[in-house]
A and B are shown apart, each in its own frame.
Chain A
Amino acid sequence: MTDPMVRQPYSPAGREPANLADILERVLDRGIIIAGDIRVNLLDIELLTIKLRLIIASVDTARELGIDWWEHDPWLTGKNQDLLEENRRLRDRLAVVEESLAPRQALEAEADPPRRRAREAEEPDE
């Protein structure tokens, strides 16, 4: 290992190239964020995608171990997450409603094919 104690201006060329994951967590997660008149305003959604890529494997491991930091991570609990959450809740409610209607619809479907088609049209949304 390179001796970290060497007191000389550090020379990037003389060291092993830094690990990409180490670089990414610094250049994406840290560093000054300047709001205002920047030309390209990276919205949460783009960084979120990358972050998800990076951590996606971690999530399963962490969940297995009962760690849930991502539920409190501001990146993952922004507005977008609220919408996803609301979407999920609505789908759950819809599923309950559909379930309670299902027996009746099944009966009606035999007598009334158009209604059944309407229900099928919703399914790709699942």
Chain B
Amino acid sequence: MSDVGTYLYAVALDEDAAPAEGLTGVAGEPVRAIAHAGLVAYVSAVPLSEFGEEPLRQSLEDMDWLGETARAHHRVVEAVAAKAPTAPVRLVTVYNDEAQIRALLERRRDDFVRLLSRVAGRREWGVKVYVAPSAPPPAAAEPAAHSSPGTAYLKKRQASLHTREEAWRQGVERAERIHDVLSSVAVAGHRHRPQDPQLSGREEWMVLNGAYLVDEGRAEEFGRVVEGLRGEGIDVELTGPWAPYSFTTPVDTKESEDRDARS
């Protein structure tokens, strides 16, 4: 059995696909394009000593390795998506050889074409909304002079919790409204899980971590809408354009739900 696997990054339409020359993938290997059945698969060779199932169990636990691999994967996907409609494939999808990938392109051709036509001429944008954890507690929360220190502490704590809860509730409501507004400009929206402060690197609560698939012709309008959201106690971060990562997972799209419902 060979000790080299074939790592798959993305699938694109062959028509105006990006050349693979000059692209470097995971493990520092050069990226190749396999054109077949009107599609192009972007791949590179990977040592199974590192990308085999067993070694991966360990590697994936290593955040440095994971970060490096994720960035390398992402670089290839981005370069390809800049040139042609692209369907990114999940991290560490490894095949035995190219023949298997050709067979895949042939077998799943219709699915790929359907997915790629959905993202053609569109870009994914990320929008994160942050709210301040809590406003200063209202003056009424001051403990009455006659209460014991214990009661005063509990009351203060209760008031503070109440303020936090209220701030969170309001933040979540705003996030709902913002998501609706952005979705109305976008072709589709997907909400990622809000990131913890440790991940976002910000103290404020992230109440919305959305991804939106936007027609290229409406990108400007989308940007304006996002800018307009900034305001009192609320901050908005726009990232992108991304390759359409969030919109090439069939199980999550409205269309596929409809299709499933019909079939």
Contacts and interface: CB of A to CB of B under 8 A. Distances in A.
A21 B95 contact: no
Contact of B56 (A5, A23, A46): A46
B100 A37 contact: yes
B182 to A, nearest CB: 13
Contact of B60 (A1, A27, A49): A49
Given A20-B67, A24-B66, A38-B93, A5 B79 contact: no
Interface of B: 5-6, 8, 11, 48, 51-53, 56-57, 60-61, 63, 66-67, 70-71, 73-75, 77-79, 82-83, 87-96, 100, 103-104, 108, 115, 123, 125-126, 164-165, 168, 190, 192-200, 209, 211, 216, 219-220, 222-223, 238-242, 245-246, 248-250
Contact of A27 (B5, B70, B220, B222): B70
Contacts of B11: 32
Contact of A28 (B53, B90, B115): B90
Contacts of B115: 32
Contacts, number: 158
Q: Which of B52, B78, B87 has the most CB of A within 10 A?
A: B78
A46 B193 contact: no
- The 4 residue pairs across chains A and B that have the minimum distance between CB atoms: A26-B245, A58-B196, A5-B220, A31-B90
A45 B71 CA distance: 22
27 contacts: A1-B238, A5-B219, A5-B220, A5-B223, A7-B219, A9-B82, A17-B71, A18-B242, A20-B67, A26-B74, A30-B88, A30-B246, A31-B89, A32-B11, A32-B89, A32-B249, A33-B90, A37-B100, A39-B52, A40-B52, A41-B53, A42-B56, A49-B61, A50-B60, A57-B197, A61-B196, A65-B164
A12 B82 contact: yes
A92 to B, nearest CB: 30
A110 to B, nearest CB: 44
A124 interface: no
Contact of B74 (A18, A34, A39, A53): A18
A23 to B, nearest CB: 5
A31 B63 contact: no
Given A9-B83, A38-B94, A49-B61, A27 B193 contact: no
Given A10-B241, A26-B88, 7 more contacts: A5-B220, A21-B200, A25-B192, A27-B70, A34-B108, A39-B94, A46-B57
A28 B89 contact: no
Nearest to A32: B89
A54 B193 CA distance: 11
B199 A23 contact: no
A21 B195 contact: yes
B104 A36 contact: yes
B64 to A, nearest CB: 11
Interface in A73-97: none
A31 B52 contact: no
Contacts of B245: 26-27, 30-31
Contact of B216 (A7, A34, A65, A69): A7
B89 A4 contact: no
A33 B216 contact: no
B87 A39 contact: no
A29 B67 CA distance: 15
A19 interface: yes
A26 B108 CA distance: 22
